[in-house]
Chains A and B, each alone.
Chain A
Amino acid sequence: MAFSGNLLSWLVFAPFIWGLAGLLIPARNPSWTKYWALGGTIVAFLLSVVVYLQFDATSAAFQLQESVSWIPSLGVSYKLGLDGISLWLVMLTTFLCPLVILGAFEAVEKKHKGFFFLLLALESAMLGTFLATDAFLFYVFWEALLIPMYFLVGIWGGKDRIFAAMKFFIYTMAGSLLMLVAIFYLAYQFNVQSGMGISTSLFDLYTVKVPGDGYLSAQSLLFLAFALAFMIKVPLFPLHTWLPDAHVQAPTAGSVILAGVLLKMGGYGLIRFALPLFPDAVRLYQWPALVLGTIAISYGALIALVQTDIKKLVAYSSVSHMGYVVLGIFSLNAAGMSGAIYQMLAHGISTSGLFLVVGMIYERRHTREISAFGGLAKVMPLFAVAFLIIVLSSAALPGTNGFVGEFLILLGLWQTAPVLAVFSALGVILGAFYLLWMFQRVMYGKVNGEENAQLKDLSTREILVLVPLIVAIFWMGMAPGFWFSKMQPSVDALVSKYQASAVAELRKVSP
């Protein structure tokens, strides 16, 4: 293949370059811009399929690696590579982006070119984040994606878009600054310990040994610096308050990207950096993380219960669902870790679906107040079916993608902390409650008002957006082996470090 040597670079930069080229399209032809952008995301998806086909599922090693020296004085190099965990997050990103663009065809009312360029730039930044194997490069991509996101919310957002964009930008950037400091501390420490010069390469950092006994040891502080950045992104209670504002103000495309991919970067960061770099600190802070995750599940669900704005409801449901991800990761066993990654993928699909669905009725009615709707099932039967399937997947009905992740996470957590597993499982009840209640108020009852009675059912374009998500929901729900088989070696390698302690925990539980 022509690009076999640097396939991943092609994948990362293709959307961005494609987007730049798209800027040359005359502004009087918005539909050209749309199809051009759609084409770009489809190209990226096809490239990711090539990556998938070349990926060797039997190995836990990073594959398709690329490495170029970048800033030698700081030991920074441009390094890409992927393992079984990043593979699926990359696929999730390239899968969602075409749907986001297709979903936004009718939604953008001004500055088309900028909007679609920013989405493509965002895709590049996200792919870079998942593929970087140099800590500094990771940081660069991580921060870079804030810029297109900031503009997407700030320009195409709702009434309070400027405030929400600022809050999102400053909150997440401030949270990441300490991570940058920590990265360079580790890079210098690598030189001290190995004498091979400063390096921010992930593989070099993995070899650094930092004293880790005590809650305020060097390792613990470094862990906290990383964890703060990641847990803001997840977002883990109580660091979540940027999310409802950002979601409510963002345009649908922004919300989908935010919930579908951006939040996963927090979980990914924990898995890629915090767990392998700081094993002692992770064990020390395992309990606080588990307790916060447990609180997040019920906290997010309870607040979702009383929301009057559908988007805010979905935003708080993300707080609840992402709490499961933190629990799975910090269960530190195979079931929990696999479940956490699966939950990230499942949440990426189902919550994207929810935001897209909300966007579709918002485009029709220009409101997201639950009370403004009622009886839509009667006038929009196809929409009702799609909405219900997505709601059920979000409520983790067995047979859908949501169940597999939650089941494995709770099973893993049960082996580590049975009492917390019991409290976390409360989310099973609350989740069904707020989702079905919302569904009932929007879709059931008598058709509420003349405007609702006139609503059109899904268009062909909207069906094309939702069908891939629905297929993914059932495919992931019934044949999770397809996904697990690719990531199993990577998960096993990651968990094996903690396995000794996990086995000990298991013994404590079972008699």
Chain B
Amino acid sequence: MLASIVLLPFVGFLANGIWYLTAQVKGGKSISARNSGVLATASIAGSFVLSLALFIRLIGLAEEERVFETVLFPWIQVGALDISFALRMDALNALFALVITGVGTLIHVFSIGYMDHDESPAKFFAYLNLFCSFMLVLVLGASLPVLFLGWEGVGLCSYLLISFWYTDPEKASAGKKAFVVNRVGDFGFLIGMFLIFTTFGTLDFAALKAAFATVAVAPGIVTAMGLLLFVGCMGKSAQLPLFVWLPDAMAGPTPVSALIHAATMVTSGVYLLARMSFLYAATPDALSVIAGVGAATALFAASIALVQNDIKKVLAYSTVSQLGLMFLACGVGAYATGVFHVITHAFFKALLFLSAGSVIHGMHEEQDIQKMGGLRSKMPQTFFVFGAGWLAICGIPPFSGFFSKDEILWQAFSSSHGGTLVWAIGSLTALLTAFYMSRLFILTFLGKGRTDKAAHAHESPWVMLIPLQILAVLSITGGFMGVPHASWLEHWLHPVLAHAPELRAGVHHETEWFLMGFSVVVAAAGIAGAFFLYRDKRAADNLAARFRSIHTVLLQKWYVDEFYEAAIVKPVARFSSFLWKTFDVKGIDRVVLGFGSFAGQSGTLARTLQTGSTQLYTFLILVGFASIVGYTLYGIFR
């Protein structure tokens, strides 16, 4: 049954893929979005039903028996290395499997409507199914290498789906950028695996956990392991400094942004930290780095989101920022809280992206919020569900985002790994989040339509609206699984995660209620600020003009892409050209060819030079040696 969860979407991929290719070969009409979409949806929905069944069986088991395992086949077995292709479901990844298949199913349904006018929906659904299959391998894999197979597999699907409309060079580039930047992270992941294997002799999670409890390892080595794996997370979960691919990834179709670049794949890093929490619990240094990177990313990305005008770009930076909050939670040792925010974020961010998709659909592919406005009356259903997502991400009680974000801020403040600074950064991020999300909401839905397109926008069909409504319900109610002091989620995850850290000295439980009130005030202030500023759009534009330099820096995303271009991409290209044209062709190859012509000419020369004088011979040897060296250097520096 566990294997079927992974296999069902894979079968869906094969079916749609083969169907698509046969249609291509025959050159006939393309397969409709409805036919291919229903097939793909059925396979992922089946996977959801199976996940749910296993989840219910897990609930029925005693705490310590909550594990299902299946070994599919032996994968790589060489010497001491023994990697089986094994899946293992426990309390932690059962939740992830539910989110992936559940939200995944809704997004598949939505796509049937969204991809209706596309040229090759069958290809799209094949990729989407393949993604789900790899994503499930990622979370259900019983060892680091199997997780890594899923990890790279979802990266591939992300690449394929970002560049889905590949005739646009920008979209093709965005896909490649995502893959290559992720490879930078994978580089760390790989080295981390090597270090872990040579230290513990295994890469299986359960065996590692057991070995970690018995084998004594120097703290520096544990920190190195933790940080190396975290480099992988920086790539996959778009943290500083490797976040640059995610905003570009918005080039993909919007359901892809919702599924891959908001709800599931980008949270893999948080899953990995939670999975390895037994290791991270032993390395406060690595945790501090993670908390620091998370906090910095959260604030940094939120600052960019303040001024973006592309509806998807705002949501993309918002995702980077929210992922930062999740890492902040893990970094202060509150893994359950990080997972909590993964789940609520999956609900409300998938909702926001899909509603944005509905808006883009209704606006005939327009994504600039400057050109929207007044959609409340044109798209009332979308307006309503987007509103639910908006209040959830702002952190207004009792919407889901309130509970998880509040929990993160409390943990940041109270944990012995946390402190006032990370709490303050988190709260500031929350303030900015409420502001930019309200700005997005106001500019899109309120006021009057600012263009013809906005005036003629149409509501989306029911096949797109129903998934939105279900996600809206989840975004509103999802937080109740983690009500403070009565958290079902924390209780559920307690046996599988490293235990929550101690309270910081001088922090009392009563403070929690005060901070909770404070975070509501922060959210309300952000919303109120946006409403005040954007009650008249011209006033806001004037303000932007007055602080033009700051506004431009934010609009240009702190010039990070430009910096990478100038500091890494261009120098590497220049260096490569030098290696090729100068060092390789004019250097090494000249010496080689020199040997060749030397052999030919030496015969003729040798006859005339045979004088018998040893001094002359020595001298000539020196001259020869010097000329070879000189010839090479000349070739290089010419």
A residues apposed to B, CB below 8 Å? 167, 170-171, 238, 241-242, 299, 302-303, 305-307, 333-335, 338-339, 375, 377-378, 381-382, 385, 392, 397-399, 404, 407-408, 410-411, 414-415, 418, 421-422, 425-426, 428-429, 432-433, 436-437, 440, 443-447, 457, 478-481, 484, 488, 506, 509-511
Known interface pairs A241-B592, A397-B152, A399-B149. Does A305 touch B25 (Cβ–Cβ under 8 Å)? no
The answer to whether A410 touches B78, judged by C-beta atoms less than 8 angstroms apart, is: no
B218 adjacent to chain A (CB < 8 Å): yes
Q: How many angstroms from the CA of A377 to the CA of B172 in the assembled complex?
A: 12
B59 adjacent to chain A (CB < 8 Å): no
The answer to whether A382 touches B25, judged by C-beta atoms less than 8 angstroms apart, is: yes
Interface centre among A299, A385, A407 (most CB of B within 10 A): A407
Enumerate chain B residues within 8 angstroms of A440, measured Cβ to Cβ.
163, 172-173, 175-176
The answer to whether B187 touches A428, judged by C-beta atoms less than 8 angstroms apart, is: yes
Which A-chain residue is minimally distant from B593 (CB atoms)? A167
Q: Which of B49-57, B327-335, B413-421, B575-583 contacts the other chain?
A: B575-583
CB interface residues, B 195-211, toward A, < 8 Å: 195, 197-199
The answer to whether B190 touches A445, judged by C-beta atoms less than 8 angstroms apart, is: no
Enumerate chain B residues within 8 angstroms of A305, measured Cβ to Cβ.
572-573, 576
B45 adjacent to chain A (CB < 8 Å): no
Within the complex, the shortest CB–CB distance from B222 to chain A, in Å, comes to: 10
Enumerate chain B residues within 8 angstroms of A170, measured Cβ to Cβ.
596
- Majority SS of interface residues in chain A? helix
Known interface pairs A411-B81, A481-B77, A510-B198. Does A303 touch B191 (Cβ–Cβ under 8 Å)? no
The answer to whether B218 touches A511, judged by C-beta atoms less than 8 angstroms apart, is: yes
Contact of B76 among A242, A333, A381, A407 (CB under 8 A): A407
Enumerate chain B residues within 8 angstroms of A445, measured Cβ to Cβ.
166-169, 172
The answer to whether B588 touches A238, judged by C-beta atoms less than 8 angstroms apart, is: yes
Within the complex, the shortest CB–CB distance from A420 to chain B, in Å, comes to: 12
Enumerate chain B residues within 8 angstroms of A509, measured Cβ to Cβ.
198
The answer to whether A303 touches B152, judged by C-beta atoms less than 8 angstroms apart, is: no
Within the complex, the shortest CB–CB distance from B340 to chain A, in Å, comes to: 30
Enumerate chain A residues within 8 angstroms of B183, measured Cβ to Cβ.
428-429, 432-433
9 A-B pairs with least C-beta separation: A334-B79, A444-B172, A414-B194, A444-B166, A241-B589, A398-B149, A302-B576, A381-B24, A306-B576
- Majority SS of interface residues in chain B? helix
B156 adjacent to chain A (CB < 8 Å): yes
Q: How many angstroms from the CA of A432 to the CA of B173 in the assembled complex?
A: 13
Q: Mark B65-79, 1 if CB is under 8 A from A, else 0.
A: 000000001111111
Contact of B575 among A302, A335, A436 (CB under 8 A): A302
The answer to whether B194 touches A410, judged by C-beta atoms less than 8 angstroms apart, is: yes
B566 adjacent to chain A (CB < 8 Å): no
Known interface pairs A302-B572, A305-B573, A425-B191. Does A398 touch B153 (Cβ–Cβ under 8 Å)? yes
Contact of A303 among B166, B217, B580 (CB under 8 A): B580
Enumerate chain A residues within 8 angstroms of B77, measured Cβ to Cβ.
481, 484
Contact of B194 among A381, A399, A411, A429 (CB under 8 A): A411
The answer to whether A444 touches B163, judged by C-beta atoms less than 8 angstroms apart, is: yes
B21 adjacent to chain A (CB < 8 Å): yes
Q: How many angstroms from the CA of A303 to the CA of B588 in the assembled complex?
A: 14
B435 adjacent to chain A (CB < 8 Å): no
Known interface pairs A335-B78, A421-B191, A478-B75. Does A436 touch B179 (Cβ–Cβ under 8 Å)? yes
Q: Mark B349-383, 1 if CB is under 8 A from A, else 0.
A: 00000000000000000000000000000000000
Q: How many angstroms from the CA of A426 to the CA of B145 in the assembled complex?
A: 19
The answer to whether A334 touches B198, judged by C-beta atoms less than 8 angstroms apart, is: no
The answer to whether B584 touches A398, judged by C-beta atoms less than 8 angstroms apart, is: no
Given A398-B149, A444-B166, A445-B172, output 11 extra A-B contacts at Cβ < 8 Å. A241-B592, A302-B572, A302-B580, A377-B166, A410-B194, A426-B187, A429-B187, A432-B180, A436-B179, A440-B163, A511-B218
CB interface residues, B 152-184, toward A, < 8 Å: 152-153, 156, 159, 163, 166-169, 172-173, 175-176, 179-180, 183-184
Enumerate chain A residues within 8 angstroms of B25, measured Cβ to Cβ.
382, 457
Q: How many angstroms from the CA of A479 to the CA of B85 in the assembled complex?
A: 10
Q: Name 26 interchain pairs, CB-CB below 8 A, sorted by A.
A: A171-B592, A238-B588, A241-B584, A306-B573, A334-B79, A335-B79, A335-B80, A397-B156, A398-B152, A414-B198, A421-B191, A422-B191, A425-B187, A429-B180, A432-B180, A433-B183, A440-B163, A444-B166, A444-B172, A445-B166, A445-B167, A445-B168, A445-B172, A457-B25, A484-B78, A511-B218
Within the complex, the shortest CB–CB distance from A226 to chain B, in Å, comes to: 20
B114 adjacent to chain A (CB < 8 Å): no
B545 adjacent to chain A (CB < 8 Å): no
Number of A-B contacts (CB under 8 A): 147
- Kindly state the interface size class of chain B when it binds its partner: 35 or more
Contact of B588 among A241, A443, A510 (CB under 8 A): A241
Within the complex, the shortest CB–CB distance from B174 to chain A, in Å, comes to: 10
Q: How many angstroms from the CA of A190 to the CA of B431 in the assembled complex?
A: 83
Q: How many angstroms from the CA of A472 to the CA of B42 in the assembled complex?
A: 31
B1 adjacent to chain A (CB < 8 Å): no
Q: How many angstroms from the CA of A275 to the CA of B168 in the assembled complex?
A: 52
Contact of A480 among B76, B589, B596 (CB under 8 A): B76
Known interface pairs A375-B167, A429-B184, A481-B74. Does A303 touch B179 (Cβ–Cβ under 8 Å)? no
The answer to whether A335 touches B81, judged by C-beta atoms less than 8 angstroms apart, is: yes
B186 adjacent to chain A (CB < 8 Å): yes
The answer to whether B75 touches A511, judged by C-beta atoms less than 8 angstroms apart, is: no
The answer to whether B180 touches A303, judged by C-beta atoms less than 8 angstroms apart, is: no
Q: How many angstroms from the CA of A262 to the CA of B173 in the assembled complex?
A: 36
Within the complex, the shortest CB–CB distance from A432 to chain B, in Å, comes to: 5
Enumerate chain B residues within 8 angstroms of A411, measured Cβ to Cβ.
81, 194, 197
B148 adjacent to chain A (CB < 8 Å): yes
Within the complex, the shortest CB–CB distance from A372 to chain B, in Å, comes to: 16
B539 adjacent to chain A (CB < 8 Å): no
Enumerate chain A residues within 8 angstroms of B186, measured Cβ to Cβ.
428
Enumerate chain B residues within 8 angstroms of A377, measured Cβ to Cβ.
166
Which A-chain residue is minimally distant from B163 (CB atoms)? A444
The answer to whether A410 touches B190, judged by C-beta atoms less than 8 angstroms apart, is: yes
Enumerate chain A residues within 8 angstroms of B218, measured Cβ to Cβ.
511
The answer to whether B78 touches A421, judged by C-beta atoms less than 8 angstroms apart, is: no
Which A-chain residue is minimally distant from B81 (CB atoms)? A335
Within the complex, the shortest CB–CB distance from A269 to chain B, in Å, comes to: 21
The answer to whether B156 touches A385, judged by C-beta atoms less than 8 angstroms apart, is: no
The answer to whether A338 touches B79, judged by C-beta atoms less than 8 angstroms apart, is: yes
Q: How many angstroms from the CA of A481 to the CA of B180 in the assembled complex?
A: 30
The answer to whether A404 touches B148, judged by C-beta atoms less than 8 angstroms apart, is: no
The answer to whether B78 touches A408, judged by C-beta atoms less than 8 angstroms apart, is: yes
Q: How many angstroms from the CA of A428 to the CA of B79 in the assembled complex?
A: 24
Q: How many angstroms from the CA of A204 to the CA of B176 in the assembled complex?
A: 54
Enumerate chain A residues within 8 angstroms of B163, measured Cβ to Cβ.
440, 444
Enumerate chain B residues within 8 angstroms of A338, measured Cβ to Cβ.
78-79
Q: How many angstroms from the CA of A268 to the CA of B589 in the assembled complex?
A: 25
B620 adjacent to chain A (CB < 8 Å): no
Enumerate chain A residues within 8 angstroms of B179, measured Cβ to Cβ.
432, 436
Which A-chain residue is minimally distant from B588 (CB atoms)? A238
Q: How many angstroms from the CA of A167 to the CA of B594 in the assembled complex?
A: 12
Which B-chain residue is minimally distant from A511 (CB atoms)? B218
Within the complex, the shortest CB–CB distance from A319 to chain B, in Å, comes to: 10
The answer to whether B579 touches A302, judged by C-beta atoms less than 8 angstroms apart, is: yes
The answer to whether A303 touches B576, judged by C-beta atoms less than 8 angstroms apart, is: yes
Enumerate chain A residues within 8 angstroms of B575, measured Cβ to Cβ.
302
Known interface pairs A411-B81, A432-B179. Does A382 touch B21 (Cβ–Cβ under 8 Å)? yes
Q: How many angstroms from the CA of A104 to the CA of B584 in the assembled complex?
A: 31
Q: How many angstroms from the CA of A399 to the CA of B596 in the assembled complex?
A: 45
Interface centre among A302, A440, A444 (most CB of B within 10 A): A444
B622 adjacent to chain A (CB < 8 Å): no
Which B-chain residue is minimally distant from A509 (CB atoms)? B198
Enumerate chain A residues within 8 angstroms of B152, measured Cβ to Cβ.
397-399
Q: How many angstroms from the CA of A510 to the CA of B75 in the assembled complex?
A: 25
The answer to whether A421 touches B194, judged by C-beta atoms less than 8 angstroms apart, is: yes
Q: How many angstroms from the CA of A348 to the CA of B81 in the assembled complex?
A: 24
